[in-house]
């Protein structure tokens, strides 16, 4: 029996950012991030995504989430979140799932504190409150504009008390709302009965409704997302060459021959992967003989001198009987985007192009040619297994 379920409303249509719920922040789609946060909470038994989009439904299933098919009339611009939640609860009840508590999670909040989720759920389960939502304390002076000029909302404009002499107000983050199922169905609104605030840090208040907020979230993602790779999640490694095995520079002699610098540390990392029995491939656009020479030295496969990498990646993965979601691809520049979007683990060295870092699931501390591969290998091989 599921005592607590999370519901993530995620419709396919979006005017501000087309396909918003599937855009990536820190290498994960917003839907995947919401499911991940819910699954990391100890008190949530199941997670369901309410959607009218097949691509979103597929993304939900691929990230250990259930799916509730939302009818078109509840997925337009005027439909409320409450209507989607009510439909999901009723649909799940028909299938035999009637939870005591529902957690409403919005995918537009990419950074959710799972510990705060658990604390809010515990309060509702204990009967302390009927509804608890996330908010952060603010001591800001709020104003409203009128034809008579600006007036203070939460203060007297003739007085400027010190912060320590004021009581805070609270701003909703929009990330989550926890409530008793029956009370919600009767009220048909997320706020009913005794309402409580689960205070979170203001850093969790990022909400994505436009492109500027999306860019801000992408810049902040490395600060929130640990470079955690569950042991066994990656079963193969594909690597670009320039900017990954090298620092993306070359020395050219008078005869036009190029030489590059590589890292001995990376070589040790490759050796560790070989001992673990995981297949590896260097996949490079470069025609320089140094690519195959380095691959031969390392004892791994290399395919070079190709403009379209994706078909080669797909064929290699199939030949090695490795599912794409279990492949890690480490790349540093724009010609790696297609491959990185195709695999389960997109990895970026610290010197990668900004567009690469936006879609990377893990951003490494080391640069290409300076230990990035060794850092990645240690993440792959030494992390504990997922719970």
* Tens-digit pLDDT profile for residues 291-346: 888 999 999 999 999 889 999 999 999 999 999 989 999 999 999 999 999 998 99
Contact at 8 Å (CB) between 109 and 173?
Answer: yes
Nearest to 261 by CA among 235, 243, 287: 243
Q: How far is CA 181 from the centre of its chain?
A: 28
**pLDDT tens column, 31-71:** 999 999 999 999 999 999 999 999 999 999 988 999 999 99
Instruction: Give the CATH architecture of domain 236-382.
Output: 3-Layer(aba) Sandwich (3.40)
Q: What is the pLDDT of residue 33?
A: 92
Nearest to 240 by CA among 332, 378, 338: 332
Q: What is the pLDDT of residue 254?
A: 62
Strand stretches in 59-100, DSSP E: 66-69
d(CA 338, CA 356): 10
Contact at 8 Å (CB) between 353 and 333?
Answer: yes
Q: What is the pLDDT of residue 164?
A: 83
% of the chain beyond a pLDDT of 70:
95
Mean pLDDT of 175-204: 96
**pLDDT tens column, 67-88:** 999 998 888 888 899 999 999 9
For the chain, give every domain's residue range: 4-224, 236-382
**pLDDT tens column, 238-290:** 999 999 999 877 666 666 666 678 888 999 999 999 999 999 999 998 877 88
For the chain, the average pLDDT equals 90
Name every residue whose Cβ is closer than 8 Å to that of residue 153 and which is 6 or more positions away in sequence: 142, 143, 144
d(CA 238, CA 284): 10
Q: What is the pLDDT of residue 250?
A: 67
Q: What is the pLDDT of residue 387?
A: 41
Residue 127 has pLDDT above 90, yes or no: yes
Residue 7 has pLDDT above 90, yes or no: yes
Q: What is the CATH number of domain 4-224?
A: 3.90.550.10
Nearest to 112 by CA among 184, 181, 177: 177
Read off the tokens for 137. Answer: 């304390």
Mean pLDDT of 355-380: 90
Q: What is the pLDDT of residue 386?
A: 46
Residue 1 has pLDDT above 70, yes or no: no
Helix (H) or strand (E) holding 221: helix 211-224
Q: What is the pLDDT of residue 358?
A: 82
Mean pLDDT of 216-232: 77
Read off the tokens for 120. Answer: 């809010």
d(CA 21, CA 65): 14
Nearest to 56 by CA among 95, 107, 93, 15: 107
First to last CA, the chain: 20
Mean pLDDT of 370-381: 92
């Amino acid at each position: 029996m599921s005592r607590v379920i999370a519901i993530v409303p995620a419709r396919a249509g979006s005017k501000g950012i087309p396909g918003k719920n599937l855009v990536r922040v820190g290498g994960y789609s917003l839907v995947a991030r919401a499911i991940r946060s819910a699954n990391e909470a100890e008190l949530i038994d199941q997670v369901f995504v309410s959607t009218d989009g097949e691509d979103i439904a597929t993304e939900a299933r691929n990230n250990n989430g259930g799916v509730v098919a939302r009818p078109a009339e509840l997925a337009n611009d005027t439909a409320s979140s409450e209507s989607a939640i009510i439909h999901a609860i009723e649909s799940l009840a028909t299938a035999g799932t009637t939870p005591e508590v529902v957690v409403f999670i919005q995918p537009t909040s990419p950074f959710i504190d799972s510990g705060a989720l658990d604390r809010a759920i515990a309060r509702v389960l204990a009967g302390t409150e009927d509804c608890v939502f996330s908010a952060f304390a603010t001591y800001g002076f709020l104003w409203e504009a009128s034809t008579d000029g600006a007036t203070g909302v939460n203060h007297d404009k003739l007085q400027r008390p010190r912060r320590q002499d004021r009581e805070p107000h609270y701003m909703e983050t929009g990330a989550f709302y926890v409530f008793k199922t029956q009370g919600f169905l009767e009220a048909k609104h997320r706020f009913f009965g005794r309402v409580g605030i689960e205070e979170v840090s203001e850093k969790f208040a990022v909400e994505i409704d436009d492109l500027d907020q999306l860019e801000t979230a992408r810049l902040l993602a490395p600060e929130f997302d640990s470079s955690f790779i569950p042991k066994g999640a990656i079963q193969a490694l594909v690597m670009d060459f320039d900017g990954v095995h090298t620092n993306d520079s070359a020395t050219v002699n008078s005869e036009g021959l190029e030489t590059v610098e590589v890292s001995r540390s990376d070589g040790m990392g490759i050796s560790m992967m070989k001992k673990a029995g995981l297949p590896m491939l260097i996949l490079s656009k470069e025609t320089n003989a140094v690519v195959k020479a380095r691959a031969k030295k390392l004892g791994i496969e290399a395919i070079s001198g190709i403009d379209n990498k994706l078909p080669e990646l797909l064929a290699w993965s199939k030949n090695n009987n490795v599912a794409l979601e279990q492949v890690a691809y480490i790349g540093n520049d724009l010609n790696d985007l297609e491959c990185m979007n195709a695999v389960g683990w997109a990895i970026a060295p610290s010197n990668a192009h900004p567009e690469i870092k936006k879609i990377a699931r893990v951003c490494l501390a080391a640069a290409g040619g300076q230990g990035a591969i060794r850092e990645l290998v240690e993440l792959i091989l030494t992390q504990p297994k997922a719970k």
